[in-house]
Amino acid sequence: MSDKRPLIFVTNDDGITAKGIRSLYDAVKSLGDVVLIAPDSPQSGTGHAITIHDPIRMTQSLAFEIEDAFSCSGTPVDCVKLGVYEVMHRKPDLLVSGINHGANTATNVLYSGTMSAAVEGSMEGIPSVGFSLCSFDQDADFSIAKEVVTNVSKHILMNGLEDGVCLNVNVPYVAIEDYKGIKVCRQAHAYWEDRFDKRLDQFNKPYYWLTGEFRDQEQAEDTDLYWIEKGFTTIVPTKFDMTAFDSLNKIKNWEL
Amino acid sequence: MSDKRPLIFVTNDDGITAKGIRSLYDAVKSLGDVVLIAPDSPQSGTGHAITIHDPIRMTQSLAFEIEDAFSCSGTPVDCVKLGVYEVMHRKPDLLVSGINHGANTATNVLYSGTMSAAVEGSMEGIPSVGFSLCSFDQDADFSIAKEVVTNVSKHILMNGLEDGVCLNVNVPYVAIEDYKGIKVCRQAHAYWEDRFDKRLDQFNKPYYWLTGEFRDQEQAEDTDLYWIEKGFTTIVPTKFDMTAFDSLNKIKNWEL
């Protein structure tokens, strides 16, 4: 950490009015100077989407006690890009995203706007972390999650993170007496067994709602799904290099 | 390959009217029975977004000579989910996405709807591949790209792909005499040096357009950016497990 007060970038995907981002802000505000830019509406499931074909709006928000709080019409990744290239005058020392209402364990990292903001931060060279609480309740109790945020954020400010790596932190929704601590582990291989709720509109034309159930494909130990079930907060170091190095040689042997 | 005629799932992110998906369809139609589901409008940069808060529409398209062609109001990933869970009666033997108008090399794999459809396919256990041509021209010449599609698709139907792995294929936009062949390689570490074009609307309120330049951070050999510049088609085996395994032990040593 330099002598300067750290610059901390706060964002999320549930939108600027969510309890999760207020809890996140409260958990880091004493650690440095905060700039907050968050979507003006819920953006769950937007993944790494960016806004190319539409203009983006950004307006100051008075909901926080700081001048640098903005609500943005774009996606979480748009918020990160706007923050880095339009709002901030220097690279932040830490980017925190969340606290998401709902788990972003396993392959959900790909669908998650919360985690995509953190991944984008790491692509910009910022030590970045996404936090999620395993409860979709709008009024969930964030007290354990806030302690985790402060703890992990202090460690990142102290130790940094390796280039190209961000953290995916999920906090179980349990009573304090059932909370077990923190495990660093890998991403579980799981998938959504989707279902579509097919309905008919007022003109008798069909439309579909996405629904489904999340399935743990491996039931393996040392994954985020394994430990979160046991009452632990999970930390998965997450990288944006998606190369399947183990497959390189096999495919090089194809006679293409 | 089984005795049955292969079932091939065709999708894209540029929308059902793009020349790229017509070229893709033409390149694979002789290899099996095709089901085609594509967005009804351009969806570049949607990444792995899914539609949760809005209903999804899907209607038959008469633009192809097959019954199973559908235009969909959702994202590329929605198209894959709808195909697997609503339209197809068995798991396809191959999913092909594209041919994208524009490169999806390096870290663009994260922003790309084309590649996110392929990644989603691999999450569903389907051997999947995304194809991109390095030209944004709406009327680009897809003749080299079509040969690559047929070649790579035949190999996948013959050899399959490893669990959790799909392919990211980029074809250079060069004249046939300058075309060099195919290289299997890794994803380059590159990033967008973004810029926002800030303008004022009719009420004097600001809005932003995302723009910027793509920068190769490494200038390293054996990456997709390296080979594509030299006139080669690049194939990057790509996985959805984003765990940064190299960082696991380092972070386990933090006293959290």
Residue B192's pLDDT is 87
Q: Which residue of B has its CA nearest to A122?
A: B191
Pairing of strands A190-200, A181-184: unpaired
- What's the pTM value of the predicted model, to 2 decimals? 0.95
* Residue B114: pLDDT over 90: yes
Query: What is the arithmetic mean of pLDDT over A175-188?
Result: 97
Average pLDDT of chain B, as a whole number: 95
Amino acid at A227: W
- Reported as a pLDDT band with limits 50, 70 and 90, residue A3 is low
Per-residue pLDDT reduced to its tens digit, B202-243: 999 999 999 988 888 888 889 999 999 999 999 999 999 999
Q: How far apart are CA A131 and CA A165, in angstroms?
A: 15
Nearest-CA distance A3 → chain B (Å): 22
- Do B184 and A57 lie within an 8 Å CB cutoff? no
Average pLDDT of chain A, as a whole number: 95
Alpha helices (H) in A136-222, listed in sequence order: 143-159
Per-residue pLDDT reduced to its tens digit, B44-94: 899 999 999 899 999 999 999 999 999 999 999 999 999 999 999 999 999
- Do A254 and B48 lie within an 8 Å CB cutoff? no
- Do A45 and B56 lie within an 8 Å CB cutoff? no
- Mutual orientation of helices B143-159 and B19-28 as an angle, nearest 10°? 50
SS3 state of residue A227: helix
Mutate to test the interface with B, among A242, A248, A249, A253 (most CBs of B within 10 A): A242
Nearest-CA distance A244 → chain B (Å): 5
Identify which of A50, A240, A241 has the shortest CB distance to residue B210: A50
Domain A7-188+219-252, classified CATH 3.10.105.10, yes or no: no
Per-residue pLDDT reduced to its tens digit, A34-82: 999 999 999 989 999 999 989 999 999 999 999 999 999 999 999 999 9
Nearest-CA distance A205 → chain B (Å): 9
**Interface ipTM:** 0.94
- Reported as a pLDDT band with limits 50, 70 and 90, residue A202 is very high
- Do A184 and B252 lie within an 8 Å CB cutoff? yes
Domain limits, chain A: 7-188+219-252
* Residue A199: pLDDT over 70: yes
Per-residue pLDDT reduced to its tens digit, B3-58: 689 999 999 999 999 999 999 999 999 999 999 999 999 998 999 999 998 999 99
Identify which of B116, B186, B208 has the shortest CB distance to residue A82: B208
CA-to-CA separations, B57 to A60, A234, B5, B25, B68, in angstroms, rounded: 36, 37, 29, 22, 15
- Reported as a pLDDT band with limits 50, 70 and 90, residue A212 is confident
- Do B187 and A241 lie within an 8 Å CB cutoff? yes
- Reported as a pLDDT band with limits 50, 70 and 90, residue B2 is low
Query: What is the arithmetic mean of pLDDT over B237-251?
Result: 96
- Reported as a pLDDT band with limits 50, 70 and 90, residue A1 is very low
The two tokens of residue A97 are 């995203």
Q: The domain B7-188+220-252 is classified under which CATH number: 3.40.1280.10, 3.90.1150.10, 3.60.21.10, 3.40.1210.10?
A: 3.40.1210.10
Q: Which one has a higher pLDDT value, A20 or A220?
A: A20
A64 contacts: CB under 8 Å, gap ≥ 6: A25, A34, A36
Pairing of strands B128-133, B165-171: parallel
- Phi and psi of A178, rounded to 5°? -100, 0
CA-to-CA separations, A92 to A35, A85, A143, in angstroms, rounded: 9, 11, 26
